[in-house]
Amino acid sequence: MSLIEHKINIQNNELEFFLEIIFRVFGYDFRNYNKAHVKRRILHRINNLELQSISQLQHKVLYEEGYFDMILRDLSINVTEMFRDPGFYKSMREEVIPILRTYPYIKIWHAGCATGEEVYSFAILLQEEGLYERAQIYATDFNPVVLEVAKKAIYPVQKIKDYTLNYQESGGKNLFSEYYVARYDSVIFDQSLKKNIVFAEHNLVTDSVFAEVNLIICRNVLIYFNKELQNKVISLFTESLIKGGFLGLGSKENLMFTDVFNQYQVIDSKEKIYKKIVTSLK
């Protein structure tokens, strides 16, 4: 840790002012993100740039090309991997897929898709369960840079060992190597997996309902929001789900303390899978 990093301290009012400027000038709203998370990311960037204060960073973001894109990357939530938390996918196979199979056509919204690894994971699952041909997946993120990565479906070869293990533990039915080809230091996933995926920009903080869908997957995104924003986003998901639709969250997230908890049935408490109740509980 550098000497500069020790000296720098960001006051809450400085951080709030910085985020307000980001919103008003660039239209990206991080004001209701978890303040501790945002402060850590901003401090890390100030330290890397060897700046002395958040005001210096603010000046660069406003007046120098490339600095806002840097902040956007810093505040994006891009921690992901193929078949992340295998138990989630196993539960999806056992508890959700049999219900989705009863529909003639399935719409799935993968919100906060980052670089796409978990989107392709679910596409593989649907293919193995014979549902991919009648499914449409909408994969969204507010960051256009990570969406471009997701569209290419090319990932570092050094990660493939972990991805393979995740796939096997998730209940995968084939050899994982059937879904990609290796090229030097990268793997390229089967282009047929893209056929029914639409990648699009969508901001959970500022945008409205994206589509009416049977399933929403949004994993490990809500933990970066404060309670007010969590409620807003969960309400957005609730509006987007058909009655009887499913919602899959991350391992550290749940609906228990949200405003809409009574509108859901818990399908898997450990894997955080919920079903929107068909009739109101009264």
pLDDT per residue as tens digits for the range 148-206: 999 999 999 999 999 999 999 999 999 999 999 998 899 999 999 999 999 999 999 88
- The answer to whether 39 and 30 are in contact (CB under 8 A) is no
To 10 degrees, what angle do helices 54-63 and 35-48 make?
80
CA dihedral 44, 45, 47, 49 (to 10 degrees): 160
Domains in the chain (CATH in brackets) are 3-75 (1.10.155), 86-276 (3.40.50.150)
- Sequence-distant (≥ 6) Cβ neighbours of residue 13 within 8 angstroms: none
- Sequence-distant (≥ 6) Cβ neighbours of residue 66 within 8 angstroms: none
Parallel, antiparallel, or unpaired for β 135-141 and 197-201? parallel
The identity of residue 76, as a single letter, is: S
pLDDT score recorded for residue 256: 83
pLDDT score recorded for residue 6: 46
Mean pLDDT estimate for the chain: 91
pLDDT per residue as tens digits for the range 40-73: 889 989 998 988 899 999 999 999 998 998 898 8
Mean predicted confidence (pLDDT) in 126-153: 95
In angstroms, the CA 153 to CA 268 distance is 30
Q: Is the pLDDT of residue 282 over 50?
A: no
pLDDT score recorded for residue 3: 40
Mean predicted confidence (pLDDT) in 117-127: 98
Q: Is the pLDDT of residue 11 over 70?
A: yes
- The answer to whether 95 and 246 are in contact (CB under 8 A) is no
pLDDT per residue as tens digits for the range 77-96: 777 899 999 999 999 999 99
pLDDT per residue as tens digits for the range 203-230: 998 888 878 999 999 999 998 899 999 9
pLDDT score recorded for residue 184: 87
Model pTM? Answer: 0.88
Q: Is the pLDDT of residue 147 over 50?
A: yes
